Structure formats: C-alpha cells, structure tokens
Amino acid sequence: MQTAIKRIIFFAAIIAFWEIGSRLELWHPLIFPSLSSVFSALVEGFRDKTLIYDLIASFKRLAVGLAISLVIGTLIGILLGKSKTADETLGAVILALQSVPSIVWLPIAIMWFGLNEKAVIFVTILGGTFVMALNMRTGIKNVSPLYIKAAQTMGANGIDLFTRVIFPASIPYVVTGSRLAWAFAWRALMAGELLSTGPGLGYTLRYASDFGRMDIVIGVMIIIGAIGMIVDQFIFQRIEKSVIKKWGLES
C-alpha cells in the first residue's frame, strides 16, 4: 500500500473518531470541541480576517528572526570550524545554550527589550542561531582533507581555499542547519508570541485560551502544525534532497 493511501486512511480514521466521539459526548465539548466546531471557528477567523492578520504578523517576525539567525549562526559556525580555540571555548557555550528551551529566554527578552516586537524577534533569533552554528561547524570540520590538499597543491590558500573548496563542500550541512533552524525558530516564535501583545498566531492562541475558546485554540494549533509540515516537506526537504543528490551523497 502506498504511503499516501496509508496516510489518508490514518487521518480519515482520526477525523471520524474525533467527530463521532464529540457527537456521542464521550468527552466534554468545552475541553475538546468537535471537528466541525473547530472548522467553523477557523472559517469565522478567516472571514473576519483575524487569522489572516495573525499569519501576516507571525511570518514577518519569522522572516526577520530566521534571516538574522542564519547569518549569525553561519558566522559563528565558521569561527568554530576554523578556530580550535574558539571551538574549545565558545563551542562549549553554544552547545549548552542549544539545550535551553526558547521559552526560557522570554523573561530575559522582556527585561532587555520590554513586552514588544523586539523581544519576540530576539527569542526567534536565538531559536535558530545555535543549531545553525553547530551544523555549520560540523560541515567545515567534515570537509575531506583530500579536497583541501588537492586545492593547496593547485595554489589555493586562505580565503580562496575557504570560498572555493571548504564552504561549497559544507553546503549539505548548511542546508540541514537551515532546515533545523527554521523548525527551531518557528517554535521559538510561537513561544514568544504567547506573551506578546498581538497580533500573531501565538497571541491568538493565548487570548482564546484565556476566554475558554478551545475551538479557536485547537484551530490555531492545527494551523501552526500544518504550516510547519508544509514548509518542511515542500521546501526544506526538497532542497535538502536536491543538494544531497547533487553532491552525490545518496546511499
């Protein structure tokens, strides 16, 4: 059986159980509303443009935060990959900071920037920077010495060696790092928006929760998950597969 058919059957079974269970009142509708109620809330949200404004605001913050995190993460990764001293000192700090959940940075972000746009973007930047830096570092360190020696025998050194050999050879890790940075930044953005003053998907999630609108809460959760899956599978996975194929890394 093809994967697509398996997935269709699996999701159809979940949807049927969700709706039938709600209609049979197997659980309280205020705790877990029916699929039809969630769908109605989403339709109403898009009709009055509330969710559209939320999506636009969230994507603006994500674009800024992710772009900055990719640049900073790449530069830090290059530093760690090229400098043993930096790798042994700053690298340990980066490795430790990567394990800190994004929501933990919120109190510091609010203290430094206040409860505003800057704090949310700051948390988003941190969400993607560390994972990008570590992937960039791994990519540089895993460049085959044969490539470097071959280039050096042909007269390549310094910046020329890095830009024409080391960095291109690290591209698969750069793509993987970008894919992970997107996922981490997206999660960090939602965490940051939970305490923002809106608009944004995270803000609407908290607002709906405060007023007991579980249909909107679940609806926004579905949107967040769907965006994550679509961007990952239809953009980053395709780029990653294309790069792996081009670099001859397919097993």
- Mean pLDDT in residue range 45-63: 94
The Cα–Cα gap between 44 and 100 comes to 37
Residue 217 has pLDDT above 90, yes or no: yes
CB 39 within 8 A of CB 139: no
- Mean pLDDT in residue range 68-83: 94
Average pLDDT, the chain: 90
Closest by Cα among 194, 192, 193, 183 to 227: 183
Residue 82 has pLDDT above 80, yes or no: yes
Query: What percent of the chain stands above pLDDT 70?
Result: 98
The Cα–Cα gap between 138 and 177 comes to 10
Q: Is the peptide bond before 101 cis (omega within 30 degrees of 0)?
A: no
pLDDT computed for residue 1 by the predictor: 67
pLDDT digits (tens, 9 = 90+) for 2-44: 888 998 999 999 999 999 999 898 988 888 899 999 999 999 9
CB 83 within 8 A of CB 148: no
pLDDT digits (tens, 9 = 90+) for 103-161: 889 889 989 998 888 999 999 999 999 999 999 999 999 888 888 888 888 877 778 88
The Cα–Cα gap between 177 and 69 comes to 11
CB 250 within 8 A of CB 242: no
Residue 251 has pLDDT above 60, yes or no: no
pLDDT band at residue 218 under the 50/70/90 scheme: very high
Residue 247 has pLDDT above 90, yes or no: no
Does pTM surpass 0.85?
yes
- Mean pLDDT in residue range 212-228: 93
What values do phi and psi take at 82, rounded to 5? -100, -20
Q: Is 99 left (phi over 0), alpha (psi -120 to 50) or beta?
A: alpha
Residue 249 has pLDDT above 70, yes or no: no
pLDDT computed for residue 130 by the predictor: 94
**Token pair belonging to 95:** 């490795």
Sign of CA dihedral 184, 239, 87, 76: negative
DSSP type of residue 24: T
pLDDT band at residue 196 under the 50/70/90 scheme: confident
